Amino acid sequence: MSRIVLGVSGGIAAYKSAELLRRLTEDGHDVTVVPTESALRFVGASTWSALSHRPVATDVWTDADQVPHVALARRAELVVVAPATADLIARAAHGLADDLLTNTLLTARCPVLFAPAMHTEMWEHPATVDNVAILRRRGTIVLEPATGRLTGADTGKGRLPEPDEIAGLTELLLHRPDALPYDLAGRHVVVSAGGTREALDPVRFLGNASSGRQGYAVAAVAAARGARVTLVSANAALPDPAGVDVVAAVSAVELREAVRKAAEDADAVVMAAAVADFRPRDAAVHKIKKAGSPPPVDLTENPDILAELVADRGGAARPVLIGFAAETGDDTASVLDHGRAKLARKGCDLLVVNAVGNGRAFGQPDNAGVILGADGTERTIALGPKTVLAAAVCDALASRIDGANLPAG
């Protein structure tokens, strides 16, 4: 059981933090909620207490003999502030400590994650930009806000990231406290995710079992590490990761076009999508009726997108090219043997090899894999949340991008 402090500042998005709290407690974590006084105007203490199964810490005066801000910070393995308003970010950046939450932030020595939520104009104001940069330079993790509906009729950047995404990054930090350095700032990372669909007729298609979760995890982690991320998503029924540009694709040909266009100025391309090897040569114009023997399906090979990217790159060092290989062992070779052969055949820089089948990888929240490098390196990632494998992929691509370790901000 991990000990988490959930700070809640005074914004309308506080109601979404109740769902985040539910997720964290259902995952078995010991969560203490520290709302600001203004946060309690949006969601009352009884709600936080009922969902966390713990008393709510609201001020520095209650149980003052136990020095609550020090006690909370010392026992915490992670502090998450969601929502983090412009006011809270400003106070944290300048070391103000006028309530229990800001006192706790000053005394915490564990990872601290801020999930901002505010109007677009406030997020883009030079004061907020500077304050976020200060926090990131200190090692505080400040997520990019999502784009979408804000308070009232307003729409824009400033929406709180979805609770599931914040919970996923929370799990990552509990597994690996160093997983989200701000080392991809100024870099463009392209990620493909999901599974392509190849039309048989207007209602049927050839497809696969990919949910897109692993590619979405790579996109979310890369964005949290400062990258500009383009996510080419093939039929994934998942919410857009915060701070990520999402381009929809259906078929392998559509995915190819979108990835190659995005890759023109990319520093790295991660091909996590499950791309169909074949497609029907001619899709039926009308629904194929069930009558007698099924008609034969004439298949033609789809383009090899990763191989094309390798050819497009020529002898250049960038973009760094990373493929994924969902493999099963057979009588001729093991999963890793098949992966090594595929790495040599594709010519990419890195290949992430996953053993699939029997309930592994596809559609699951956890994954394991081995990251094979063209230089002969191999890194094994044990079974864990898909964000953990995603962080390892980001580690590998960051180390291969010239000058990737830029100063934060």
Residues 34, 93 share a domain: yes
Question: Which of 144, 175, 206 is the last residue in one of the domains?
Answer: 175
80 and 224 part of one domain: no
Is there a single domain that holds both residue 328 and residue 236?
A: yes
Residue that is last in its domain, among 143, 175, 207: 175
Inform me whether the pLDDT recorded for 330 exceeds 90: no
Dihedral Cα 45, 48, 50, 54, nearest 10 deg: -100
Judge if 262 and 389 occupy the same domain: yes
CA 156/CA 285 separation, integer angstroms: 40
Question: In this structure, what CATH number is given to the domain that contains residue 338?
Answer: 3.40.50.10300
The confidence score (pLDDT) of residue 403 equals 41
- Are 42 and 122 in the same domain? yes
The residue segments making up the domain with residue 7 are 3-175
pLDDT tens-place string over residues 279-318: 999 998 989 888 878 888 999 999 999 999 999 998 888 8
CB proximity list for 46: less than 8 A, separation 6 or greater: none
Token pair for 321? 């090219």
Q: Give me the mean pLDDT over the 229-257 stretch.
A: 97
Structural domain contains residue 405: no
Q: What is the pLDDT of residue 64?
A: 52
Q: Which residue pairs, CB below 8 angstroms and at least 24 apart, start in 39-42?
A: 39/8, 39/9, 39/10, 39/11, 39/14, 41/10, 42/10, 42/11, 42/12, 42/14, 42/15
Closest CA to 223 of 87, 390, 340: 390
Could you tell me if 118 and 242 lie in one domain?
Answer: no
Which one is predicted more confidently, 407 or 91? Answer: 91
For residues 275 and 310, membership in a common domain is answered with yes
Residue 42: inside a domain: yes
The answer to whether position 181 is within a domain reads: no
Residue 409 lies inside a defined structural domain of this protein: no
pLDDT in tens, 160-202: 999 999 999 999 999 999 999 999 999 999 999 999 999 999 9
Last residue of a domain, one of 175, 210, 238: 175
Strand 78-84, strand 112-116: pairing: parallel
407 or 139: which leads in pLDDT: 139
What total number of domains does the chain contain? 2
In angstroms, how far is CA 56 from the centroid of its own chain?
30
What confidence score (pLDDT) does residue 357 get?
58
Which runs of consecutive H residues, i.e. helices, occur in 94-162? 100-107, 120-124, 126-137
Asked whether residue 146 falls in the same domain as residue 274, the answer is no
Q: Is the pLDDT of residue 49 over 90?
A: yes
pLDDT value at residue 409: 31
**Is residue 97 predicted with pLDDT exceeding 90?**
yes
Any domain includes 406: no
pLDDT over 90 (residue 120): yes
Same domain, yes or no: 164 and 211: no
What are the φ and ψ backbone dihedral angles of 105, each rounded to 5 degrees? -65, -35
Claim to verify: residue 145 and residue 209 sit in the same structural domain: no
* Active-site annotation, residues: 208
pTM for the complete prediction?
0.92
Closest alpha carbon to 163 in 61, 51, 274 = 51
